[in-house]
């Protein structure tokens, strides 16, 4: 996600320079043919370029609004994930009774909090099509992570693990039925958040929304110098290229934000958000009566600051 006040052109230029270079050559050719060789037939001064630009703006605005709605829904879902994770950790640590200490064994409530941390990291990697196991080893350890390697949907497997831990706590009379029901509602909320994120990831913006505006932008950019060359003459390349860049940039930006889980600078900053969840939940675990099962990896968790104006 971009957090700086302005977007450097070097971030847009790699995606636009080929189209702009071809258009610049075409604009220069039209200007020379009209102004130097006096082939005035090439001018289409009667072309209603202003209405065309207005219609194109409507198409781009519609596609941009649809793309931004997807991006904002993705960010809202991860905001809900943060809130639900904090609530679950509080419920685990305060609603589940303490159990007799066993040497080398993590308590059920601490296991639940660690699995909640693991869920956030696993969901991030699941949406980005990355392997989550290096992150999970740091949270759950080698043995618990090894049990998850056989699952294609690791976040869903972690939710099942949390459900089994709650059942174990209930069987040991550490958790009564009413509290179990209250906690299970938040587990359902996690499943709904995951399902909504997968819907955004696996259902792209309708292709006609992506293809048609791009075709219209190209047609407009090719017709623009023919419509203005009579009035601008040799200045046509400058004006036409600048106007074309405006429409091409708008087209590119709306296409980029339409896929908020593709691990680009325009994405939902899931790395920072998942590390925020881990930091918050580990701090909550410090209120527990038992010592933490492993040292808190503070340097890794605090590495959530923007880098060159971007948060990933």
pLDDT digits (tens, 9 = 90+) for 148-199: 999 999 999 999 999 999 999 999 888 888 998 999 999 999 999 999 999 9
Q: How many whole angstroms separate alpha carbon 183 and alpha carbon 136?
A: 23
What letter does residue 293 receive in the DSSP assignment?
S
Please indicate whether residue 16 or residue 259 has the higher confidence score (pLDDT).
259
Q: Is the pLDDT of residue 277 over 50?
A: yes
Q: Is the pLDDT of residue 299 over 50?
A: no
Confidence tier at 298 by pLDDT (50, 70, 90): very low
pLDDT score, position 227:
87
Closest listed residue to residue 63, CA positions, set 206, 199, 203, 219? 206
Q: How many whole angstroms separate alpha carbon 105 and alpha carbon 85?
A: 23
pLDDT score, position 10:
59
SS3 label, residue 173: coil
Helix ranges (DSSP H) in the chain: 9-35, 49-95, 108-127, 133-140, 142-148, 154-171, 177-202, 207-232, 236-257, 270-285, 298-301
| Cα angle, residue 85 at apex, residues 83 and 282 outer, rounded to 5° | 115
Q: Is the pLDDT of residue 293 over 60?
A: no
pLDDT score, position 18:
82
pLDDT score, position 3:
47
Closest listed residue to residue 16, CA positions, set 256, 257, 259, 311? 256
Instruction: Kindly report the number of other CB atoms within 10 A of residue 306's CB atom.
Output: 14
CB of 225 within 8 A of CB of 237?
Answer: yes
Task: Give the whole-number percent of the chain exceeding pLDDT 90.
Answer: 33
Closest listed residue to residue 110, CA positions, set 125, 86, 128, 92? 92
Q: How many whole angstroms separate alpha carbon 149 and alpha carbon 281?
A: 24
Q: Residue 233: CA atoms inside 13 Å, Cβ hemisphere, count?
A: 5
Closest listed residue to residue 158, CA positions, set 111, 217, 212? 111
Q: How many whole angstroms separate alpha carbon 89 and alpha carbon 232?
A: 66
The interaxial angle of helices 207-232 and 9-35, nearest 10 deg, is 40
- Cα 288 to the center of its chain, rounded Å: 34
Closest listed residue to residue 292, CA positions, set 309, 278, 302? 278
How much is the pTM?
0.85
User: In the predicted model, what is the mean pLDDT of the chain?
Assistant: 84
Task: Quote the longest CA-to-CA distance of the chain.
Answer: 95
Interval 121-156: pLDDT, tens: 999 999 999 999 998 998 898 999 999 999 999 999
């Amino acid at each position: 996600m971009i957090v700086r006040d302005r977007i450097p052109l070097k971030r847009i230029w790699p995606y636009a320079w080929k189209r702009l270079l071809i258009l610049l050559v075409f604009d220069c050719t039209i200007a020379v043919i009209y102004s130097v060789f006096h082939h005035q037939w090439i001018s289409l001064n009667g072309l209603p370029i202003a209405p065309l630009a207005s219609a194109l703006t409507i198409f781009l605005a519609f596609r941009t609004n649809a793309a931004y709605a997807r991006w904002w829904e993705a960010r809202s879902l991860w905001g809900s994930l943060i809130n639900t994770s904090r609530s679950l950790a509080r419920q685990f640590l305060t609603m589940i009774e303490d159990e007799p200490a066993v040497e080398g064994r993590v308590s059920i409530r601490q296991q639940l909090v660690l699995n909640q941390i693991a869920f956030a990291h696993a969901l991030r990697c699941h949406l980005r099509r990355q392997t989550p196991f290096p992150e999970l080893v740091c949270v759950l350890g080698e043995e618990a992570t090894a049990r998850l390697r056989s699952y294609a949907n690791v976040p869903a497997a972690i939710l099942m693990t949390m459900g089994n831990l709650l059942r174990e706590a209930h069987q040991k009379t550490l958790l009564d039925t009413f509290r179990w029901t209250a906690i299970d509602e938040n587990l359902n909320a996690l499943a709904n958040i995951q399902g909504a994120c997968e819907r955004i990831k696996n259902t792209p913006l309708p292709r006609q929304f992506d293809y048609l505006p791009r075709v219209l932008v190209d047609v407009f950019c090719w017709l623009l110098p023919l419509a203005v060359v009579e009035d601008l003459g040799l200045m046509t390349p400058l004006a036409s290229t600048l106007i074309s860049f405006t429409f091409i940039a708008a087209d590119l930006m709306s296409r980029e934000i339409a896929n908020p889980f593709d691990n680009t600078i325009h994405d939902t900053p899931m790395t920072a958000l998942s590390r925020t969840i881990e930091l918050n939940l580990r701090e909550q675990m410090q209120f527990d009566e038992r010592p933490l099962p492993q040292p808190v990896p503070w340097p890794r968790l605090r590495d959530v600051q923007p880098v060159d104006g971007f948060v990933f």
